[in-house]
Every structure is written in C-alpha cells, then in structure tokens.
Amino acid sequence: MTVLHAPVGVRSIVTSLVAFFILASSIVFLLDRGQEEQVQMAVEHGRQEVQGDASNEERNWSRGRWVYDNVSRPLYNGLKCAFIFPEVACDKYGRKDVMYQHWRWQPHGCDLPRFDAIELLEKLRNKRLVFVGDSVNRNQWVSLVCMVEASIPDDRLKIRIFNGSLISFKALEYNATIDFYWSPLLVESNSDNPIIHRVEYRIIRADRIEKHASVWRDADIIVFNSYLWWRKQKDDMRMKVMYGSFEDGDAKLDEMEMVDGFEIALKKLTEWLGENIDKNKTRIFFAGSSPTHSWASNWGGEDKNKCLNETEPIYKTGYKAATTDYSLMATAKSFFRTLEPKGIHVQILNITELSDYRKDGHPTVFRRQFVPLTKEQIADPASYADCTHWCLPGVPDVWNEFLYGYLVHK
C-alpha cells in the first residue's frame, strides 16, 4: 500500500491552521460566555435600577415636563360631567382657548400609571375616601369625581349628597364613597363654615380637632390639604390661637405668625393620627402646596394682568416662583415623620413644582360669579381674576393620577 505523505512545508501550514482555528474557537467561546455574563449583569443592574426607581417613585413622578397631548387629554369632558362645580368649569363660563385641557405631565425617566377609572372604583369597592381641607382640596375632589363618574353610564348608580361641610359622591354599584370635608385649618376654627368665613381673619382652637376628626375617623383613605389658608394675604398679617374655651371660662387668645399656627395645627393633627388611626386599615396622604399665579412678574409678565390670557405653561426647567412657599411642606414632613415609629406613614403628594409651571391653568374671570362681572371688571384682572383655583379638566387631574398610582400600583 502506498502512503502519500505531504511535503514537510505543507504539513507545517496545515498544523498551524488547525492550531489557529482551535485557538479562535476558544476565544469566541470565551467571548460569548463573557457577553452572556455581561448581559446577565446588565439585567441584574437593570433590576436594581427598577427597584431603586420604585423606592423613589414619587420623587420621579414629581420631576418632569408638560407635554401637549390632544389625543389622550383631557381624561374627561368637563361639559358632560354632571358633578363639576361652576367655579372651575371655565369653558362653560366663557373661556375660549382649551389648550389648558390638553397638557399631560411626563415625569423624567418614567411614566405615570395610566389612569383606569374602573380599576380605581374596584379598589374603592366597599371603601370610603375622604378629602379634608379647603377649596383647593375641593378642586381636587371635583376632579376625581369627574374622572370616575364617566365610567358609570347609568345615572341611577351615582349620586351626590350635600350635608353641611360634607359633600359625598357615591358609586352605588361599587358601594364606594368619595367625600370632601371642609376643614381649611385642620383643627377647629372660626372658618369652619364652608360658606360664611373671613379669609383675612383667622382663629384656631389649638386643642380642638375632634369635631372634624369624627367625620374622617372611619375612612379607609384620607387626603389632607392645608396650605392656602396659612399664607399671608399681606405682609403684616397674623392670626390668633385660642386655648381653653369660653364655656369653661378659661379662654385665652394668643396672637402669632401664620407659620406658628400651622405648626400648632400639625402637632394636634399628628397627635390625633398617632392615637386613633388603624395603620392596618387607613392610608393617609397630605397634598403638597398648590401654587398661585397672581404675580405675573414672576414669569416676566405684568402684575396688573395676574394670570389672565395665559395659554401655555412656563417652560423653564426647575422654575420655582418667588411667591411659592416650599417650606411649609418641609414643616409638614417633619411632623409626619414622628409617626413612622408607630408604623403610620403619611405619603406626601408632591405636586407643587409641576403645578408651579401652569400659569395658564386658572379660571381667571371665566367662572361663575355671585354677581356677573361687567366689561370694566373683566378688564381689571388684578381685582377679579382667580389665579388660585384650577380649571377642570386640568392640573388637579394629574394630582389624582399621582393618588391613583399610589392606591392601585403601590
């Protein structure tokens, strides 16, 4: 048998090629394995980032920008909401531009949970949600009612009940109640009548809260708001705090700064929550400060116009009006932090900065007036324009998207 031998040079070349392919295959294998490990590390890192975002979710929601969206906004038709209040029904009362209804809040790096009225009503089945506070909190209550009532087409299955300081919306099919209770200064005060009160003259009773607390005691969810009434209407404005009672003959009135009164009210509220709240049943929220836009010079306008004829948000990132007091929310947080050792958590709805951008979102003169404004009065926005409350649909819908996100997704 004849054996054919390759020449020595050829054998060397073949041997080298085989060795090269073996080495290359090994390198490819190692690279593939390294890539798999890197992908796995990236996945794990991504999970860590998601977990980190979840722990800071509210902070992420509160930082972002307004995006014009005439496809998914507004979330409801204000003209068709039978429960809307005329003070915030701006398009009904003559506002022609409706751009304010089409802005969507887009947080940086994440999305707000998509609002689902049916899902919220299921979450509220056999439960009671109570908004407690002033007219801005009532603004948010009206917003939430309009956001859910459109999903209940049968008018017989939804009702509104007025009972003094308490207004109730009931979704009968779900046995769900969404209430608003007027308590602008949290504790008992001379402003407890929702119709008859004087904004510029305020007296609180430092040690009395039970009259109000008896209304929200059995609630499953409470949303407090108290900011507007602690702001000074003028630089030298002060308030009175009453200790004791006229009935017992030991009444004493002390005059003090508004912020000191705010701390007294928070102290009493915190004490009551710590002693009475069932932490396994009741979830508690405290809404952040709702900015006003009464000084147009804050964004380069003329103060005499206030916020009249504004049609777009402020676009400057991180804008904070000089007249928006962020310190009151820091004060509230410090009081609520004392409840944590008892297992009671008060979630702040951080809506201040996002609302600060929205100089365009207020009723101005386009709202129901007790006496219709004359042409001359309409032309005098400095005296008659409302730059405190919010048109609906509008900014408070986003506040409720925050609330929905916490209730349904956390």
pTM, two decimals, is 0.83
DSSP state of 189: B
- pLDDT for residue 286 is more than 60: yes
pLDDT tens digits, residue range 329-374? 899 999 999 999 999 999 999 999 999 999 999 999 998 877 777 7
Q: What is the pLDDT of residue 35?
A: 40
Coil/strand/helix, residue 14: helix
Q: What percent of the chain has pLDDT over 90?
A: 65
Residues noted as catalytic: 135, 386, 389
| Distance separating alpha carbons of residues 114 and 124, to the nearest angstrom | 17
Q: What's residue 4's pLDDT?
A: 34
Place of tokens 């006229």: 246
- In order, the DSSP letters of 298-341 are GGTS-GGGTTTT--S---STT---TT---HHHHHHHHHHGGGGG
At the top level of CATH, which class does the domain 62-182+212-228+261-409 belong to? alpha beta
Check residue 357 and give its pLDDT. 97
Residue-level pLDDT at 201 = 83
- Each residue of 182-192: pLDDT tens digit? 999 999 999 99
- What does the pLDDT read at residue 378? 73
pLDDT at 246: 59
